[in-house]
Amino acid sequence: MPMTMTQKIIAAHAGLAEVKAGQLVLAKLDRVLGNDITSPVAIREFARMGFDEVYDRDRVTVVLDHFAPNKDIKAAQQCKQCREFCAEKNITHFYDVGAMGIEHALLPEQGLVIPGDIVIGADSHTCTYGALGAFSTGVGSTDMAAGMAIGKAWLKVPSAIRVNLRGKLAPYVSGKDVILHLIGKIGVDGALYRSLEFAGEGVGALSIFDRLTIANMAIEAGAKNGIFPVDEQTLAYVAARTSRTPAVYEADADAVYEREVDIDLSALRSTVAFPHLPENTLPIDDIGEIRIDQVVIGSCTNGYYRDLEEAASILKGRKIARGVRAIIIPATQQIYLKAMENGLLKTFIEAGCVVSTPTCGPCLGGHMGVLAEGERAVATTNRNFVGRMGHTKSEVYLASPAVAAASAIAGRIAGVQEVLG
């Protein structure tokens, strides 16, 4: 029976020769992930179920990235609960202040995910790791608790949509524009409980960081996961971070897809998602005068060094507009350090930006950039729902780091060429 890439990974972890869409299977897990918001619930469920030990202290990962450094007493209590649990269970991969980063950027950086893995995480953007040829998906905290205890999870095998990529992106157009274009094309429920499987010669023209951004936002189209084929670029990235041996799976030539979508990368322009859904997209040239109050460059989609480097190249020698707050958030401590060593932080500060420790804070309206009533933000984050970054009468426009940097200078949503001249 022909299978997609995702189906082959699931079959292997379920100990089956084949699986088909809609089938329920019990699959072995390579990693279980939680953060400071979702882990406390899982920890309580873990205890309620009567478990004493995790299935593998090296394969359970907890990252304190949403409200850490602690923003208030409740956040402090949640983080304390995570710290105590991880100390008691001797969890190897526990990341606290000073070592933590935004979880979905941190795990690939630390070599904790490789091709062929199955990863579940109590966070919807766990689908990020499909960029490395892994099956990864978000689950609830109860599933996280069971996964920590027995190292297995029940999965419903998804059907798939194939996204055929060709061509090469133009300057200042990135993976963020690709995924916003795709979501605008198929809608926020266009891939509901399906696997978005990317293919075609255009994949090779995308950096690993483009792929991480695209896979991260597969959930914004309703997808169970997003996944990329494993190529030399993938293998080189992984080999530089771990000695584990990847398992490379390829879709069968006659695998069945519910739908195929074609994207010419060379034809894409910078794309912006308007409030209050990621599907409300327009190319930059079709956007009128929209004044803004805040810019956020960071998050698990676009806090990579390459993103900061591109933003800094636009901001260098320029000032952000009067009345605009620009917040820069490196995704991990390693990225923060590299940005400091290479002068990017100096560029940001001289332009009038502030630079934060790695945190998810503003993305979910938690801290470090909450919006007031009537305010507008351009953000490189992944969601722009009503009230996502603060007041229910605020507005979030999703864009690439290049557009965000240009908009900070212009004081309104603007394209790079408009600012650079």
Q: What percent of the chain has pLDDT over 70?
A: 100
d(CA 102, CA 119) in angstroms, rounded, equals 16
Question: Does 370 share its domain with 242?
Answer: no
pLDDT digits (tens, 9 = 90+) for 108-159: 999 999 999 999 999 999 999 999 999 999 999 999 999 999 999 999 999 9
Question: Does 305 share its domain with 325?
Answer: yes
Question: Does 102 share its domain with 222?
Answer: yes
Indicate the pLDDT class of residue 165, thresholds 50, 70 and 90.
very high
Question: Among the three residues 206, 233, 264, which one is the final residue of a domain in this structure?
Answer: 264
Question: Does 74 share its domain with 124?
Answer: yes
Answer positive or negative: Cα dihedral of 231, 234, 240, 243: negative
Indicate the pLDDT class of residue 419, thresholds 50, 70 and 90.
confident
Average pLDDT for residues 254-273, to the nearest whole number? Answer: 97
Who has greater pLDDT, 30 or 420?
30
Is residue 295 classed as helix, strand or coil in its secondary structure?
Answer: strand
Question: Does 258 share its domain with 279?
Answer: no
Question: Does 45 share its domain with 175?
Answer: yes
Q: How many CB atoms lie within 10 A of CB 346?
A: 14
Q: What is the pLDDT of residue 421?
A: 78
Q: What is the pLDDT of residue 237?
A: 98
Contact 112, 61 (CB under 8 A): yes
Domain range for 378 is 270-420
d(CA 408, CA 400) in angstroms, rounded, equals 12
Question: Does 307 share its domain with 412?
Answer: yes
- Whole-prediction pTM: 0.96
Contact 265, 166 (CB under 8 A): yes
Contact 126, 120 (CB under 8 A): yes
Number of domains in the chain: 2
Average of per-residue pLDDT values in the chain = 96
Give the CATH number for residue 386. Answer: 3.30.499.10
Question: Does 173 share its domain with 276?
Answer: no
Per the listing, tokens 């990864």 go with 136
pLDDT digits (tens, 9 = 90+) for 348-381: 999 999 999 999 998 898 999 999 999 999 999 9
pLDDT for 332 beyond 90: yes
Question: Does 338 share its domain with 286?
Answer: yes
Question: Among the three residues 235, 264, 293, which one is the final residue of a domain in this structure?
Answer: 264
d(CA 317, CA 358) in angstroms, rounded, equals 25
pLDDT digits (tens, 9 = 90+) for 44-86: 999 999 999 999 999 999 999 999 999 999 999 999 999 999 9
Question: Does 278 share its domain with 224?
Answer: no
Question: Among the three residues 264, 295, 324, which one is the final residue of a domain in this structure?
Answer: 264
pLDDT digits (tens, 9 = 90+) for 218-229: 999 999 999 999
Question: Does 241 share its domain with 287?
Answer: no
pLDDT for 1 beyond 90: no
pLDDT digits (tens, 9 = 90+) for 169-195: 999 999 999 999 999 999 999 999 999
Question: Does 230 share its domain with 101?
Answer: yes
Query: Of 271, 364, 336, which is closest to residue 67 (Cα–Cα)?
Result: 364
